[in-house]
Structure 1
Amino acid sequence: MSLKLTKNDFFLTGINSVMVEERHPQADFSCHDHDFDELVIVWRGNGLHIWNDIPYPITCGDLFYINAKDRHSYESVNGLVLDNVLYCRERFRLTADWEQLLLGEHASQEQRYWRLSTLGMAVLRDKVDELAKECMKSEPLSVQLSEALLMQLALLLLRFRHQPNSGALPDAHQLDLLLMALRASIAEPFHLDSFCQQHQLGSRGLRALFKHHTGMSVPHYLRQLRICRAMSLLRYGNKTIGDVAAECGFDDSNYFSVVFNRACGVSPRDYRQRFITQLRKAPMQPSAVVNLS
């Protein structure tokens, strides 16, 4: 069963429409849902975000629009720092196209996952901090100001967000370029030195920058991406283990099985069978913990 989080537990009063929950750091958190919506903005560190049974390896710059009907959890966290911006749509007083500003239940899950540029995160950090202070007041003016700040935040997200697998990002920071390149390399070999030569970057400095912002090495992050992709393919597809391995960047299916077993505690074949069995018994059952460290 999923843990239910309610407005009464988080919102200052019955008229506050916005609250900010700072998770500095975010610990492991079991599967839960809520009777409010939220934005999840990841600032630092890394972990595994299980969202409606789909695994997402998360790190700095990840953005999620979570709806009340969604179920999600955090696992295998490592120095993960994020903010949850909670909001109750039915309490909004300002007139705006909130469904477009804050993607709601009419948007698919794929449409509600984005990446933020490094430049955008610097701007958004100040806006979230401003909102966090204002929403802790209950007088009518502060309630209205909090909602106005949420609208500004939502507009800034439209400006600075981009698709996770976007092939191009104007004025991209070197960290953004590397993260995009890694996401595009799940099925292909990735050579950091070649990437650095292509973009005229220093490999040693870029490794240090990546470690500073994400809390892990470049190969570790790429391995997370590949294992999470494999988990999704095994859960929802019918490809052979060899085909799954190849699509996730492993030339040797036996080596893939070793890496997957080390991360998930079961072989790819047993993982697929376990998930099929879980769906037959209880379709809403939370997924097993994954060790991607």
Structure 2
Amino acid sequence: MAKWVCFEDEGQERIGLLEGETIIAHTGDLFDSPAPTDIRRPLGAVRLLPPCRPSKVIALWNNFRQLAAKLDVPEPDEPLYLLKAVSSIAAPGATITRPSSYSGKVVYEGELGIVIGRPLGNATEAEAEAGIFGYTCVNDITAAEIIGRDKTFAQWARAKSFDGFGPFGPVIATGLDPRGLHVRTELNGAERQNYPLDDMIFPPARLISALSRDMTLLPGDLICCGTSLGVGSIKEASNSVTVTIDGIGTLSNRFTQ
């Protein structure tokens, strides 16, 4: 298993392979055989950036059986999803500020993220599996009260696309099998979510195959797999939110009101 990061180094954006607490800088395309350099940087001495630059962010709704049962909604026959603005992306460690245009409830949603590694269109499940570059942690932050504000139109994309509402990272883990893993979300140090990825209605290969029949998926595209039980409000004036998945690591951000 390998862990890839993107980081700022002396004003330059670099990609690197994380080994312990050391980053080995690489050159070239993250998704096309990047080459190692002699540059080494301590992890604690650099500023991490989002680990890739997606052309699109796809976010799933109702993709976990336990949450569907709690909400008393049927499990879908096909993936239910929305597109989240790429301008919502935030780096690991970034502070996210409440948007000035919205004063309502904001919620965290800890999720598994899939990063695509090659172009995929009309892919079989086997092709979809081979097209996964790796996995990451996502906090799909949502301005919950906007979704149903207008009774004629559910505003999912707007509710999830404010600047900063899409932090992910800190790494992309390759060679990882997410089956058997859990997503754990903590708010101000208290665990709020701890749910199994095995409960996913549409697991990664099946999900990617279905999405690729709707649109071509490109290297770096991010698929947020949806969340499960324990979603809640970010209420304090300043909050720490962490999303942890074993084998990937912990995504940490602050949210200020």
Tell me which interval the TM-score lies in, with the shorter structure as reference length.
under 0.3
Structure holding more helix per residue = 1
Structure holding more strand per residue = 2
Higher relative contact order (CA 8 A, sep 6+): 2
Q: What is the TM-score of this pair, normalised by structure 1?
A: 0.23
Q: What is the TM-score of this pair, normalised by structure 2?
A: 0.26
